[in-house]
Amino acid sequence: GNSVTQMEGPVTLSEEAFLTINCTYTATGYPSLFWYVQYPGEGLQLLLKATKADDKGSNKGFEATYRKETTSFHLEKGSVQVSDSAVYFCALSDRYTGKLIFGQGTTLQVKP
């Protein structure tokens, strides 16, 4: 079945450090891939998405590229800020049911 695996956290970085959060997936066909972010006490917000192989999603300095050959969708940011501290979820969408299948989430803490 479909599944998503994320690197375990927590990840602690200093401000302006480079961020990578690894995400790999298993799926039949070509699902859409998403990164969602959850700030403390809030719901999930879409950070970026990609709908086909080699697509690059980007938003607020974050980027991720849909790599079909490695079944990966790693999240990167060149210079993190304290305000980026949150939980990040990688997800894929089941094309038949629309169900989002989430990774376990990675907590990012950025220190000044």
Partner 1 sequence: EAQVTQNPRYLITVTGKKLTVTCSQNMNHEYMSWYRQDPGLGLRQIYYSMNVEVTDKGDVPEGYKVSRKEKRNFPLILESPSPNQTSLYFCASSLGQGRETQYFGPGTRLLVL
The CA distance from 112 to 51, in Å, is 35
Helices (H), 12-107: none
Q: Which residue from 51, 60, 63, 66 is in contact with partner 1, where contact means CB under 8 A?
A: 51
CB of 53 to partner 1, least distance (A): 13
Min. distance of Cβ 101 from partner 1 in angstroms? 8
Tokens standing for residue 41: 């006490």
Angstrom distance (rounded) from CA 73 to CA 19: 14
Kindly report the number of other CB atoms within 10 A of residue 102's CB atom.
16
Please state the closest distance from residue 17 (CB atom) to partner 1, in A.
26
CA-closest candidate to residue 29, choices 74, 68, 55, 72: 68
Task: Build a one-symbol-per-residue string for 8-47: x at contacts with partner 1 by CB under 8 A, - elsewhere.
Answer: ------------------------x-x-x-----xxxxx-
List residues near partner 1 by CB under 8 A: 32, 34, 36, 42-46, 49, 51, 89, 93-100, 102-105
